[in-house]
Amino acid sequence: MIRICGLLAVVLVASTATGRGPAFLAKEIHSQIDDRQLMLSSIGVSHGGSSIDALLHRESLRYDTDKTCILLVGRSSWESRSIGEALIWFYGNPEAAEFRRDFVLSAVPTMIPSRPRQGPWSFPPQGTAYNDPKEAGLIYLWRWIGMQAPDLVVEVRTMEKEQSWFVPEMAYPGRDALLSVLKPTADGQASELVAALVRTPACETGRIPSIRVNTAGQHAVAFLPKLLIALKKAGFSGPSPARQALQQRIDRSPIEVARQLSEHYGHDLKRVLYIPALALVGRLRLGGLMEDPSHQRDVERIVAPYVEGKQATTVTNGSGLSGHLVFAELASRTAGAARSQYVMLSRNAADLAFDSGGQLQPMMPFHNEMSDSLFMGGPILAHVGQLTGDDRYYDACIKHLRAMRKLVLRDDGLYRHSPLDEAAWGRGNGFPALGLAWCLTHWPQDRDDRGELLGMFRDHVAALVQHQDATGCWHQVVDRADTYRELSCTCMITFALCRGVRKGWLDAETYGPVIDKGWHAIRARIAPDGRLVDVCTGTGKQETLTDYYHRPAILGHDARGGAMALLAATEMADYQRAIERKR
């Protein structure tokens, strides 16, 4: 018996040709298989809002598994039933026991859970993720396959003819032997998905070996044992190029990830806004961790026009308030006249908490009633309070946080993005988590309201961890698992948890596994060249939940996502060092 390494995922995609909707079929299949073997997981939604579901073995989420992962793809209700029968046979029949030692089988019974798509399928899909009305479902599937990174994708078709196979051209170990066993037809009928996966890296990870099978009607389930036997005889082995790429990503240390990110982010401050400023803060932290002063020298060079008065730090929005954190961070790392100058620049933002008579404003300006303001307005006040020793800044900070929570905190402990809608937007919860952690870092131990601030933080993260998914991510809408897995909020929340455990605010035994899953998800979604997977574009107040579902998700370089990822990587490095010191 030939041992097959890697993971083989079989994706099966079905349409809604019959009265039973495919989304129901996925749940029905799941109900007939032990939950310890398969879990129901959402890939995303069609533009019409119907959930696209996957049936996943938990081991398929491990990029370092020594098994082979199979992902199956079909297009009709007949194929959906074939998929269900194949999964039930594989996970329940004693005859499949020998295959279960070497393979893991997963499935997506329905690609587009709404009316059948009109016209040809197009892969790689065109359009903007995930808000294109025609392509949304295809984009969800395409990016998901790239991040799932199976060793083999098999598209299943049910046709009224003999069982047949099509293997497109792509060089990979065991392909020629597989051809000799399966004896594929030369009919040239490669599906668009199969053909695209062998030539184009899905989600920019890597190419994936793929084949198509025609299953011959009522005997459709017979294709699976034949396929598994053929793979063994052929000596087919993973990991696929996509899986290899993700294995390399997760093998990196936090410092290595941060170094790679620092090559692409944190090299300008054209305006004092939070996105470029946080990337600079990330570089300062990286330099400290590496004992490399070149990062601080470069950041000082970048901010010099503001220090020298050649460029103003005028604050016109919330992003401008939090952009001043770079000056506060530099003040904490310097002394003498330089420190005084950085403190003065930091106060350009913090002093907006007071009116012309020096009295506290009801809350910081530019809050726009958005949960972002817990970060935009809070940390600069706490940090300046620590730098100056002036309690008025702490008074202003806690007053601001209380006012914002009254506006946007939900009864379940999550934050609505604004009073316009109850949607718990991902980054709209990442900002409070990051902001409260940042405030606590600079809060005096002996202030009476420290316990209140600590309670705010603990209550929020306790609510957030209930919504971390099996991959380690948090979603574009935190409590909606069919929205996309969003990188920037995952970075912000993971940062807050790392800081919380490292500082002793959170229990390590409870939150340590959550942090590990979050970091796994983060580094898998960061390429060595700084390209990122699914960062929500800039988002102001939205009027409906649907608006948050359909915000564009960036694939590639993104300054916002890069800054948050750099902060998360450096905080993870600090967290891991703290854990090591305790051992």
pLDDT tens digits, one per residue of 219-246: 667 889 999 999 999 888 889 999 999 9
| Within-domain flag for 2 | no
Nearest Cα neighbor of 533 from 241, 147, 264, 149 is 147
How many domains, the chain?
2
For residue 462, what are its two tokens? 């306790």
Q: 453-475 b/e with 16+ CB inside 10 Å = b? A: bbebbbebbebbbebbbebbbbb
How many angstroms separate the Cα of 554 from the Cα of each of 130, 312, 559?
A: 9, 31, 11
CATH number at residue 535: 1.50.10.10
Query: How far is residue 442's CA from residue 381's CA, in Å, rounded to a whole number?
Result: 9
Residues 226 and 270 in one domain: no
For residue 336, what are its two tokens? 């003498």
Q: Which portions of the chain are predicted below pLDDT 50?
A: 1-24, 115-116
Residues 70 and 147 in one domain: yes
| Within-domain flag for 174 | yes
Query: How far is residue 154's CA from residue 152's CA, in Å, rounded to a whole number?
Result: 6
Nearest Cα neighbor of 466 from 544, 413, 428, 522 is 413
CB atoms within 10 A of CB 179: 15
Instruction: Kindly report the pTM of this predicted structure.
Output: 0.94
Residues 134 and 153 in one domain: yes
How many angstroms separate the Cα of 15 from the Cα of each of 74, 77, 110, 504?
A: 8, 6, 6, 51
Q: Can the peptide bond before residue 124 be classed as cis, meaning omega within 30 degrees of 0? A: yes
Are 239 and 6 within 8 A, CB to CB?
yes
Domain that holds residue 422: 252-582
Residues 173 and 26 in one domain: yes
Three-state DSSP state, 536: strand
The pLDDT value recorded for residue 472 is 97
Residue range 126-178, pLDDT digits in tens: 889 999 888 888 999 999 999 999 999 998 887 656 778 888 877 677 778 88
Using DSSP bridges, classify how beta strands 103-107 and 152-157 pair: parallel, antiparallel or unpaired. Answer: unpaired
C-alpha radius of gyration, the chain, whole number: 26
Residues 335 and 224 in one domain: no
Strand partners, 51: 45
Q: Give the count of alpha carbons within 13 A of 488, CB side only.
A: 29
Are 77 and 515 within 8 A, CB to CB?
no
Are 52 and 137 within 8 A, CB to CB?
yes
How many angstroms separate the Cα of 90 from the Cα of each of 53, 85, 101, 224, 225?
A: 19, 8, 11, 8, 9
| Within-domain flag for 1 | no
Are 568 and 285 within 8 A, CB to CB?
no
| Within-domain flag for 204 | yes
Q: Please provide the DSSP assignment of 379-442 as one string.
A: HHHHHHHHHH--HHHHHHHHHHHHHHHHHHB-TTS-B-SBTTB---BHHHHHHHHHHHHHHHHT
Using DSSP bridges, classify how beta strands 164-166 and 68-73 pair: parallel, antiparallel or unpaired. Answer: unpaired
| Within-domain flag for 84 | yes
Nearest Cα neighbor of 159 from 246, 222, 218 is 218
Report the Cα–Cα distance between both ends of the chain, in Å, rounded. Answer: 44
| Within-domain flag for 490 | yes
Residues 230 and 325 in one domain: no
How many angstroms separate the Cα of 63 from the Cα of each of 41, 95, 241, 497, 564?
A: 17, 27, 12, 24, 24
Q: Which residues are CB-neighbours of 581 under 8 A, at least 6 positions away? A: none
For residue 329, what are its two tokens? 């961070």
Write down which residue in 189, 213, 246 finishes a domain.
246
H or E stretch at 139: helix 136-148
Three-state DSSP state, 472: coil
The pLDDT value recorded for residue 76 is 65
Write down which residue in 209, 225, 246 finishes a domain.
246
Residues 228 and 191 in one domain: yes
Are 503 and 439 within 8 A, CB to CB?
no
How many angstroms separate the Cα of 299 from the Cα of each of 255, 276, 430, 477, 573?
A: 18, 11, 25, 34, 20
Handedness of CA 362, 368, 370, 373 (dihedral sign): negative
Query: How far is residue 207's CA from residue 243's CA, in Å, rounded to a whole number?
Result: 9
The pLDDT value recorded for residue 520 is 98
The pLDDT value recorded for residue 4 is 32
Residues 146 and 41 in one domain: yes
Residues 327 and 366 in one domain: yes
Nearest Cα neighbor of 287 from 279, 531, 434 is 279
| Within-domain flag for 501 | yes
H or E stretch at 38: none
Residues 391 and 413 in one domain: yes
Q: Please provide the DSSP assignment of 551-565 as one string.
A: S-EEEE--HHHHHHH
Are 341 and 305 within 8 A, CB to CB?
no
Residues 230 and 263 in one domain: no
Tell me the H-state helices in 421-535: 426-441, 450-464, 487-502, 508-524
| Within-domain flag for 3 | no
CATH number at residue 81: 3.40.630.10
Tell me the H-state helices in 222-317: 223-234, 241-250, 254-262, 274-290, 294-307
Tally DSSP H helices, then E strands, for the chain: 23, 10
Residues 216 and 307 in one domain: no
The pLDDT value recorded for residue 144 is 97
Nearest Cα neighbor of 427 from 439, 419, 436, 416 is 416
Write down which residue in 246, 267, 298 finishes a domain.
246
Query: How far is residue 579's CA from residue 380's CA, in Å, rounded to a whole number?
Result: 28
